[in-house]
Amino acid sequence: MSEISSTTRMNHAKEATNKRETFELRRIEDHTEKEIKLAQSKSEAEISKIKKAYEVDVRKENTDGEIKLTKIRNSWNKRFDEENKRYEKMLNDLKSSQDERMSEIKLNNEQQVAKQEEKHKEHLEEARLKFEEQKAKYES
């Protein structure tokens, strides 16, 4: 009987050791699982923080880009308007200059036509006078 009781004691001792080891393994697994979950949550929080910071940076860059683009557009629109005004002024100056030259040419042509008509009238008058003279000679 002593052998049976010693075997039974050994079996109980083995069982107790197995239970302790199983309990210790569960405790270590639980501890490891908690550490893994804690590391995961920290990683997820850090990733979330980095994503938010990245999104803020992207929005900021987009906003800065839009502001710069708006400034450039306004600058170019202003320059475009100035150039249009300058072009309109030059065009109006050219038109008025052209009108003045055309008026001068027209006046000059009218004066030349008047001089030519005066010369023609003088020539016709001289011719008429010569004709009258010659006619008077032949009639006398």
What contacts 24+ positions apart, CB below 8 Å, involve 76-79?
none
Model pLDDT for residues 88-119, shown as the tens digit of each residue: 999 999 999 999 999 999 999 999 999 999 99
Give CA–CA dist 80/78, Å, rounded: 5
**pTM to 2 decimals?**
0.47
% the chain with pLDDT above 90 = 77
Q: Length of the chain in residues, anyone?
A: 140
Query: Which pLDDT belongs to residue 70?
Result: 95
Model pLDDT for residues 24-70, shown as the tens digit of each residue: 999 999 999 999 999 999 999 999 999 999 999 999 999 999 999 99
pLDDT band at 13 (very low <50, low <70, confident <90, very high): confident
Report the Cα 130 to chain-centroid distance in Å. Answer: 86
Report the Cα 136 to chain-centroid distance in Å. Answer: 95
Query: Which pLDDT belongs to residue 110?
Result: 95
Residue with tokens 């309109």: 88
Helices and strands of the chain, counted as H and E runs: 1, 0
Give CA–CA dist 106/98, Å, rounded: 12
